[in-house]
Amino acid sequence: MQDQLREAARQAQTAIAACQTNNDILNARAQFLGKKSLVNSLYSKLKDLPDAEKPAFGQLINDLRSELEKLLAQREKELKEQQRLQQDASKAQDLSLPGIMPGRGSLHPLTVVRREIEDIFMAMGFEIAEGPDIEDEFHNFDALNTPQDHPSRNLADTFYLENGLLLRTQTSTVQVRTMESFAPPIRIISPGRCYRNDKPDPSHSPVFHQVEALAVDKHLSMADLKDTLQNFARLMFGAGMKSRIRPHFFPFTEPSAEMDISCVSCGGHGCRICKNSGWLELGGAGMVDPAVLKTLGIDPEIWSGFALGMGIERIAMLKYNIPDMRILFENDVRALRQFSGESL
């Protein structure tokens, strides 16, 4: 009897461990604990035992029953867990699911606008020239006919370095470097970073960008400057754009002018943005002062030139209707995304 019991236990343990499906578990339960099971048949054999042995053997059968119940429940749990893991694994490899799109960058609006300006001037025959951000006083001021007592040379306006150099306050420095190195005819634009000791506000930033244009040739006049400005205004802001120049003063041009374009918001009728004038200021310009040409070894009796300079931030702000320059430098991607006209 004891042997039968032990044999029943061994068989059941092996069979339960071998169960692979829920159905196997059901079958094993029926086989080992059901009505016709071996364990059940052992109960009927109790009556053949001497009375004294009955309780102990009965207890053994009961123990075996509950042991098998426990094993079945445990195996059932194991199988469920296995199934769950298998399902998860097959989910991870579900090739029919949509992919995860990587975030895509876009060009900064200042880059978009700078490239557009470059394209427009290149189409008019200008080349792109570059110069250093760290300059000396000669290239930033002296060669540009700027006297020692000019306010822009003030410590309060210009960032001077300890070694006597400075952070350029304008890209007009590249005019000087180009005329130093190349003989006319010259047609260049020089986009780049400039620095001034300004507090950031909606229209100022201590770091900003300018683009300078310079043409030196025989017989250049204000008409060429006006034509270049008008072409630029139309290509940058749209066919209906008008432009004009007004008298002004810069140390390195004579005569000097300020350039305006018709208001991008109202088309010239007058609105809040153009303070009802119909015009928006674009930058400075003029005929290169003969003194500048002479300093750089170019004979003003033979050659004449025009130059202009404008802020790239200002153009971006007009083009994209950006109310505050600081938006361009805070680099909040939610803001930048709205103005990026071109992806990488």
Q: Which residues bind ligand DAH (CB under 6 A)?
A: 170, 172, 212, 250, 253, 283-286, 307-309
| Shortest CB 160 distance to ligand DAH, Å | 17
Q: Output 24 or 180, the one with its CB closest to ligand DAH.
A: 180
Q: Output 68 or 285, the one with its CB closest to ligand DAH.
A: 285
Rounded to a whole number of angstroms, the distance between the first and last alpha carbons of the chain is 84
| Shortest CB 311 distance to ligand DAH, Å | 8
What is the 3-state secondary structure of 191-220?
A: EEEEECCCCCECCECCEEEEEEEEEEECCC
Contact (Cβ atoms closer than 8 angstroms) between residue 245 and residue 260: yes
C-alpha distance from residue 159 to each of 136, 162, 255 (Å) = 11, 10, 29
Q: Output 37 or 243, the one with its CB closest to ligand DAH.
A: 243
Contact (Cβ atoms closer than 8 angstroms) between residue 117 and residue 189: yes
Q: Output 9 or 285, the one with its CB closest to ligand DAH.
A: 285
| Shortest CB 145 distance to ligand DAH, Å | 11
| Shortest CB 188 distance to ligand DAH, Å | 11
| Shortest CB 101 distance to ligand DAH, Å | 43
Q: Measured between alpha carbons, how far is 344 from 329 in angstroms, rounded to an integer? A: 19
- DSSP 8-state class, residue 160: B
| Strand arrangement of the beta sheet that strand 127-128 belongs to | 127-128, 186-195, 207-217, 304-311, 279-288, 253-262, 243-250
Q: Output 16 or 285, the one with its CB closest to ligand DAH.
A: 285
Contact (Cβ atoms closer than 8 angstroms) between residue 282 and residue 242: no
Q: Output 58 or 255, the one with its CB closest to ligand DAH.
A: 255
| Shortest CB 300 distance to ligand DAH, Å | 16
**DSSP reduced 3-state for 80:** helix
| Shortest CB 292 distance to ligand DAH, Å | 10
- DSSP 8-state class, residue 313: H
Q: Output 255 or 270, the one with its CB closest to ligand DAH.
A: 255
